[in-house]
Amino acid sequence: MAQRLHLVFGGELVDPARTEFKDVKNIHVVGIFPDYASAHAAWKAEAQRTVDSAHTRYFIAHLHRLRDEETEASITDALTNS
């Protein structure tokens, strides 16, 4: 079975109604997690820790969706190995 990796990250946004970070150099990478449940727990902890900052948001990125394990080589593999 393929791993279902998830990345949890966040930081201060330019506008709380958008997803543009104020300073990408200050994005807080919480970590990479082996399943959605543990990623969600980490996301929730960071979201609650920063609840008083309306401009701070955290996200879960589904890293496993970036690579199709059924395909022999992904598009990025083809580009980097050319």
What rounded mean pLDDT belongs to the chain? 85
The domain spanning residue 68 has which CATH number?
Answer: 3.30.70.2400
User: Would you say residue 61 lies in a domain?
Assistant: yes
User: How many structural domains compose the chain?
Assistant: 1
Residue that has been written with the tokens 């990025």 in this structure? 76
Q: pTM score, two decimals?
A: 0.77
Q: How far apart are CA 10 and CA 62, in angstroms?
A: 14
In this structure, the number of other CB atoms found within 10 A of the CB of residue 43 comes to 21
Q: How far apart are CA 60 and CA 26, in angstroms?
A: 17
Q: Give residue 15's pLDDT.
A: 94
- pLDDT tens-digit readout, 30-47: 999 999 999 999 999 999
User: Would you say residue 1 lies in a domain?
Assistant: no
* Domain containing residue 19: 6-80
- Contact of 43 with 60, CB cutoff 8 Å: yes
